[in-house]
Structure 1
Amino acid sequence: MLSMKTFTRAALPVALALGLSACATNTFKADVSRFAVPLPAPQGQTFAVVAEDPKLAGGLEFATYANAVAAELTQLGYAQAASPDSADMLVRFDYRVDGGRERVRTSPGVGGYGAFGPWGRWGGWG
């Protein structure tokens, strides 16, 4: 007959695995298209990162992506140009963000008077 201690030792990893697998559901959806053109070996070429869509240029989100691309190219041995006009290569990219979904959550009593009205639990002036 199995003792409770032996049973617990055997059942604990299974229960833990089941519990963690329940948390592993991912609802984030990302559709990514990637096109890569082989670059020449770096020989002092300069580059500038520009937005394919001019409306995206200058935005905080574009700057974040552009800085990431520039950091990768710098690690490969390319040098960032002072301006797109003086660059040997232009790196153009585009991104889109869909409308997403809006989720509204409400909790009773939070941010309002709750179930007891504006004067507290007893309904009068304390």
Structure 2
Amino acid sequence: MSKSIISTDKAPAAIGPYSQATKAGGNLYVSGQIPINSKTGDLIEGDVPTQARQVLDNVKAVLEAADYELKDVIKAEVFLDDMNNFGKVNEVYAEYFDEEPPARACVEVARLPKDVVVEISVIAFK
């Protein structure tokens, strides 16, 4: 099985020694995305829903760069800096995964890169 690295300028560049996504066979592993505007490189400020939307837009952009769609996501991992934001993130998440949502884990962590409030990584298959 071959492995290929996925990269797009429609999502933020990796801020460390990793790729935006790796494709292996029919699986696509998308690295955790945070609320950074890919055009400006600026961290999106604002409320939790605004940041969650940017994160999911970034996830979608990486998926599309590999010719995948949100419907191809089979597993998502959501990292929150405060579990009190669970409901707000869930509302936005449901807008993106409205039909046949993927399996998911959601955990509170002590800290996220650049002190953001939410990070999401996904695995897609087709």
Normalising by structure 2, we get a TM-score of 0.27
Normalising by structure 1, we get a TM-score of 0.27
Highest CA radius of gyration, 1 or 2? 1
Higher strand share: 2
